[in-house]
Amino acid sequence: MNTQRRSKTLIVAFVVLLILVIGISVTGMALLHRKPLVLQGEIEATEIRISGKLPGRIDRFLVQEGESVQQGDTLVWINSPEAEAKYEQVDALKRVAIYQNQKVDDGTRVQIVETLRQLLNKAQSDRQLAYNTYMRVQTLYRDSVVTLQRMEEVQTLYEAAEANVRAAEAQYQMAVDGAQRQDRESAQSMVSAARGVVGEVRALLQDARLVAPASGEIAEIYPARGELVGAGSPIMSLVVLEDAHVVLNLREDLLPRFRMGSTFRGDVPALARKGISFRVNYLSPLGSYATWRSTKQVGSYDLRTFELHALPEPKVDGLRPGMSVLITLEP
């Protein structure tokens, strides 16, 4: 009798324990299923690498790492004696081209024009004398005073004088008209080419003084003062803090909660700020390396990962690249 009673007690205890374990398990699974999902993002900002087209030596820095600058502030001076010498050279060539062009535009010198005019007058006088002589000899020939040979000699001299007048007129007119059209255009092209080279070197020399392209903070300076830098070599980096935004990587099954233009709230522990509002302004899928592979269960599939950018609304002072942002998603 006692044995039966003891067996019943053990059975009841086992059933109660089993029910208790099942209840605890179900409750734990329910609580685990309803646990909020916490996503972690990071603050990033646009970083600009400051570099120039002018190779040279760092003359002096006007800013330090961590210093705030405004757009247009001078950051660094680069000394390049070679570029300055090149500028003086091309500027001198430009002046030569301008003077040559002025010479062509001015035409032939006044002294040459006057000389050719005097030669034309002399040729015309010689022609007149030859004509008068030819007319007299022709009369004498008709009267049989001179021979045919003499008349032909005088006629030849007259014709030669006429040809000299035509040649002198052509020379004089060429001097008066000045240079040919091709010569003038060639001289003008030389001036334009020289000015273009001067403008190119001048633009290069402008990079001797590098300025901030945007307002921000100097993050890092790479070379030291006195070091040589090449064309395009980064000298310093500028972080545009006004462009601070959160970057978040999301599985695509979470995208319905983060539409373009929608807002969400996040906490920034570094600022001890909670509930900062962010507006989504960028969504793009990452490469296949960021795909969440399924476990090949029935109804499951590979999940792509998307990169999300969101700007704080309104702007939040103190946000800096590297700060964490925690977003809590309720089940």
Of 261, 263, 262, 247, nearest to 319 by C-alpha is 247
Amino acid 298: pLDDT = 46
Q: Does 206 score more than 80 pLDDT?
A: no
Please check whether residue 268 is in contact with residue 276, taking contact to mean a CB–CB distance below 8 angstroms. Answer: yes
Task: Tell whether 42 and 108 lie within a shared domain.
Answer: no
> CB neighbours of 50 closer than 8 A, spacing ≥ 6?
75, 76, 210, 212, 213, 234, 235, 236, 237, 238
Task: Tell whether 109 and 187 lie within a shared domain.
Answer: yes
Please check whether residue 77 is in contact with residue 59, taking contact to mean a CB–CB distance below 8 angstroms. Answer: yes
Q: Does 210 score more than 80 pLDDT?
A: yes
Secondary structure class of 100 (helix, strand, coil): helix
Task: Tell whether 99 and 42 lie within a shared domain.
Answer: no
Amino acid 181: pLDDT = 56
Please check whether residue 274 is in contact with residue 68, taking contact to mean a CB–CB distance below 8 angstroms. Answer: no
**Could you say which of 152, 186, 202 is where a domain stops?**
202
Here the tokens at position 62 are 């006007």
Residue 309 covered by a domain: yes
What is the rounded CA–CA span in Å between residue 232 and residue 225? 17
Q: How many domains is the chain built from?
A: 2
Residue 195 covered by a domain: yes
The residue that leads in pLDDT, 306 or 301, is: 306
Residue 191 covered by a domain: yes
Residue 230 covered by a domain: no
Q: Does 263 score more than 70 pLDDT?
A: yes
The boundaries of the domain holding residue 250 are 33-46+240-329
Task: Tell whether 247 and 311 lie within a shared domain.
Answer: yes
Of 327, 215, 216, 330, nearest to 278 by C-alpha is 327
Q: What is the DSSP letter of 25?
A: H
The whole-model pTM stands at 0.54
Burial of 143 (0-12, 13-18, 19+ CB in 10 A): exposed
Residue 61 covered by a domain: no
Amino acid 80: pLDDT = 76
What backbone torsions phi and psi does residue 296 show, to the nearest 5 degrees? 65, 25
Apex 147 CA angle, 143 and 151, nearest 5? 90
